[in-house]
Amino acid sequence: MKQIQKFILSIPLLLCSNCLGLAVFTLGNFEVKQDKIWKSNHYCFKKENLFSENEIIDCFGTPSHIELFEKCKVLYFSNGLKWTGLGVYAVFVPIVMPIPISRSYTKAYIISEKVITIVFDNTELNYMYGFINTDNPNHKPYNFGEINGLDRKQIKKIPLNQCLNSNDNLIN
């Protein structure tokens, strides 16, 4: 009986911890557009000006392949595997069954020798049924259905209007 009382009294403390919950979820793949870019342990950051094609190659190394997307040249830099999977979050412990589905890439979109956008592949919660409490105020604790990340802001495919427009506007 004392054990049950201790557990019941500890529930408010557990809810204040970093992560606590009971949920089932699936992992999905999303894209993230970022100004700060990195490869392994080294950062390449340029806030004021656009990267040139040569600067981005100096930062990431030789691209694994190059494609054309409308009026953009796209450099693909391999980041390993892209994952999907299923999982259960039980109290403090996430139990995940990851499944590799393809290659993960960092993509540099280039117009007129200038990198206009860097897009990273990202694996995040896609569907979730249950409750996960985190210390991040942007995360919604109760989720039932498609959530696109705990912050509900993940995007499956970044729109690249700069590549589709007929003018050469390089502003993101």
152 occurs within a structural domain: yes
67 occurs within a structural domain: yes
Between 11-25, 36-50, 56-70, 84-98, the lowest mean confidence (pLDDT) is in: 36-50
Higher pLDDT: 32 or 77? It is 77
169 occurs within a structural domain: no
pTM assigned to the model: 0.69
170 occurs within a structural domain: no
83 occurs within a structural domain: yes
Q: Report CA dihedral (139, 143, 146, 152) to the nearest 10 degrees.
A: -10
Tokens of 99: 């499944």
DSSP label of 53: H
Residues 6+ apart with CB under 8 A from 145: 127, 128, 129
Residues 6+ apart with CB under 8 A from 21: 89, 91, 130, 131, 132, 133, 141
Look at the chain and report how many structural domains it folds into.
1
172 occurs within a structural domain: no
Alpha-carbon distance 29 to 121, whole Å? Answer: 7
104 occurs within a structural domain: yes
> Above 80 in pLDDT, residue 143?
no
Range of the domain at 35: 2-164
| Region at 148 (left for phi over 0; alpha for psi -120 to 50; beta for the rest) | left
Give CA separation, 26 vs 2, 115, 131, 148, in Å. Answer: 37, 33, 14, 10
Q: pLDDT tens across 90-123, in order?
A: 777 778 888 888 888 989 899 888 888 888 888 8
